[in-house]
Structure 1
């Protein structure tokens, strides 16, 4: 008996709960260790075998951040420009976790990549957030392939010239409302310092709310009503698209999916934001659908983007394949708010900065604007003003709202080059081979400010270049509008560029007619930081957030009335 007892004793100890938990934990952590090792090994092999390794470029200096260690990759435009002087318009650099990435400002490469369906936009948000993939990834900014073409066709009528003209009164009503608010502030003093970035954000939020959803956020008057649908929706979109891609925790969760099982502050905020967009958005859709039913026939009654999209799900004469589901309509909300609100706000802000730096240009523009004898010109009248057009083109060129975009190769391909590259073996190449998964970095800002394309004054704000005739080299830039990259080109060209141009021009028309702008601080203290769009910050106080303080005074015609 003693011998039998002794033989089963170890078995009883092994089945003790604490020992059993220890064994299970050991297996789990061993499995995770092998999984991480497998992922790292697979990634190392892929990097080692990448054809991009034969392309010269700056060396890697960090395991996590590769070649880009001075600033985050999204803010590395100056670093990339310096590298271009050494390595030329096309080179390879090491990105996060030392992944090879191809940087190219070669126009032949741009034409190829942007026009080919072999290259898709980054799926970083979809990979990071299953909720995003489920509810929002069918937005026009993110969907690819056949459905992307179908959505562009469906939404095309909402962004036609005839439809955009209907927004003219909205844009002028809001810009005049802002004018009146500023006039009140100036009534007690000759000039005052105004953070124009804050006001441009409020203005464009109100206008895109009305044009996109027939909803006035009323942020010019107040910051919205706490707890209202508008404030919930706005905050959710801001939370979803304002975060740092370059933290260690984010990168670990991005490349090791099992790590996403452990919630972080970022994942919690993102999930909450997505659920808010879904809940509030579906309620807005239901309310609009009910209004459409009450009106009977919906065809031709819609004036805002969401109502137009709802028409496609209700009108009997629209083919089934051309109709959008509620989920697809919902997914357009963050796309419209992000593309229509943020990009227009920073465009007007940076253009006002350049006009404050260039009083002669500002004065010349004001003289042209005062040739119009109404505060509310038609869209055709507004678009016919040549110097205003030149100022807007130059503002978009010098201060490209989105500084870069990326594309991922979906299969092996050869990218043609206008400027050959000499590889590490000394062979000259007129094309570069990429494999499935390789990323191509396309610097929008660098193309718009390239001296090789625009001349020695490429970084100067000089609207006259558009009246004199742009260089021949610039005419080869792939572009949806005006030979600049600001609205991109190809399948993912900005579908709402007419709305953006109307917004920017109407705002400048009103503000420059009635106010004079001067710099409140040294221009060298204004820096640019990117979080999808390039916002202005104070180099002396970046922690205070995006801002652009300018000194504003009423123009003489209005100053006389104030006095």
Structure 2
């Protein structure tokens, strides 16, 4: 069978691929390590990052399984093309990528290598699952701390008569939209990312500053190959943009977006959550609708309360910022919530 790789996640069985993904996402180097490696340039290998050994082992596992799937898919498509087999109509991600890449309409110099094709799969897995599920978790956390906001949202959700709303119906709910926007502002699932300059350039700054040589600067020179940290969460919570209550969860703020937010170069919502430019998140529209659909179903059916003190909830930042219990770090990623059925009275 094409792409026959059992995960058995719902049965509680271990999957080496799932464990490899968890390792990669939970062993991100600290900001200080990244800073030192950047300063060291070509000698950065002398500074070991936290979890390097485990990460390399996990990546080797991902590469091995990925290449297995790639080879199976290519072989199946090659065989199917000779006999117009049903497998040519398969629409899993890897098959679609391979068929598009093998198309006679694509010039040879524009085709992706096998490794480029394979690299797209974990990208879609992370962007399509990990970030959305984590964002929804933080939304439930924020709503648990503000039962008034949770009730207001629930009232709006019950203005829809069906349990299975269309995408247009979900997008027509203003307070649901504001709740999602505020969650992705205050609790950005991906708090930061990196970029590498492909050429020398200059970054203008809004407020001139004095450098360590005593010179007044109105821009920052960037050299080709230099690594840049994109502080997504810092910008989303900046008091200079959102005011003194920038760290508060307040969906009502979206009724009147601050003028300064228009300068944020994000692809969506006056935020940097999905980044911007040609490398912005390709699936952000789907992610937004998915998150709205999850909240629509959950908030209509249940009431959520935090099962521990808010002070006990912390963040563990790998590639994605996940919730943890500060007093029980060994328990891993978790968000203890008290969930009770909600009975809607007409």
| Bin for the TM-score computed over the shorter chain | 0.7 to 0.9
Number of matched pairs: 334
3-state SS of 1:311 partner: helix
Instruction: For 1:482-561, list aligned pairs within 5 A.
Output: 482-557=269-344
Specify whether residues 433 and 544 from structure 1 end up closer, same or farther in structure 2 by C-alpha distance, changes over 3 A only: same
3-state SS of 2:221 partner: strand
- Find the aligned partners of 2:129 and 2:248 in 1 and give their Cα distance: 26
Work out whether 1:278 is the aligned partner of 2:67: yes
Which piece of structure 1 moves more, 374-383 or 430-439?
430-439
3-state SS of 1:440 partner: strand
The TM-score, its normalising length taken from structure 2, stands at: 0.84
3-state SS of 1:548 partner: coil
- Long gaps (5+) in structure 1: 1-212, 559-563
- Find the aligned partners of 2:316 and 2:279 in 1 and give their Cα distance: 24
- Find the aligned partners of 1:289 and 1:553 in 2 and give their Cα distance: 52
Higher helix share: 1
- Find the aligned partners of 2:6 and 2:272 in 1 and give their Cα distance: 31
- Find the aligned partners of 1:236 and 1:282 in 2 and give their Cα distance: 20
3-state SS of 1:406 partner: strand
| 1:236 alignment partner in structure 2 | 20
| 1:479 alignment partner in structure 2 | 266
Do the aligned residues in 2 keep the contact of 1:343 with 1:402 (CA within 8 Å)? yes
Specify whether residues 281 and 511 from structure 1 end up closer, same or farther in structure 2 by C-alpha distance, changes over 3 A only: farther
Determine which of 126, 134, 146 is the counterpart of 1:358.
Answer: 146
Work out whether 1:413 is the aligned partner of 2:197: no
- What's the CA shift for 1:333? 1.5
Specify whether residues 385 and 279 from structure 1 end up closer, same or farther in structure 2 by C-alpha distance, changes over 3 A only: same
- Long gaps (5+) in structure 2: none
- Find the aligned partners of 1:350 and 1:435 in 2 and give their Cα distance: 37
- Find the aligned partners of 1:293 and 1:377 in 2 and give their Cα distance: 43
Larger radius of gyration: 1
3-state SS of 1:528 partner: strand
Specify whether residues 389 and 294 from structure 1 end up closer, same or farther in structure 2 by C-alpha distance, changes over 3 A only: farther
| 1:432 alignment partner in structure 2 | 220
Do the aligned residues in 1 keep the contact of 2:21 with 2:58 (CA within 8 Å)? no
- Find the aligned partners of 1:335 and 1:547 in 2 and give their Cα distance: 23
The TM-score, its normalising length taken from structure 1, stands at: 0.53
- Find the aligned partners of 2:55 and 2:5 in 1 and give their Cα distance: 29
- What's the CA shift for 1:491? 2.4
3-state SS of 1:556 partner: coil
- What's the CA shift for 1:440? 2.6
| 1:443 alignment partner in structure 2 | 231
